[in-house]
Amino acid sequence: MQVSEQQEVVQMLEADWSLQLPEMVSEETILKRLEERILQLADKNPEAFFQLMYRLDVSEQKVKSVLFEPDAGMQIARLIYKRQLQKIEARKLFRDKDDVADEDLKW
């Protein structure tokens, strides 16, 4: 059974952000729930928020550039969502390279 990219992102976000999301969910709903969690964590435990952003490899420069915007939570949610999609794409790319037919060319 192949999991869609959105389902993979949902699984990653549930694990990293302790989110509870339905199995079938829109990107808009994902972003809204993530925004709520971001604002909650940034308010109650900013250190944990920044540690998580670092662990997720979200650009510190991009986060800082939107941090004081009126819709900072949603902008950060989009950064996180986009970064998770990039990670999924990178895994697919490297996984495809591992499917080399010639055993001598495999690492």
Provide the token pair at 2.
């192949």
Q: pLDDT band for position 1 (50/70/90)? A: very low
In a 13 Å sphere around the CA of 74, the CA atoms on its Cβ side amount to 7
Mean pLDDT check: name the lowest of 16-20, 29-33, 75-79. Answer: 16-20
pTM of the entire predicted model: 0.81
Tokens 């989009």, located at residue: 78
Q: What is the pLDDT of residues 56-100, one digit of tens each?
A: 999 989 999 998 999 999 999 999 999 999 999 998 887 765 555
Provide the token pair at 89.
């794409």
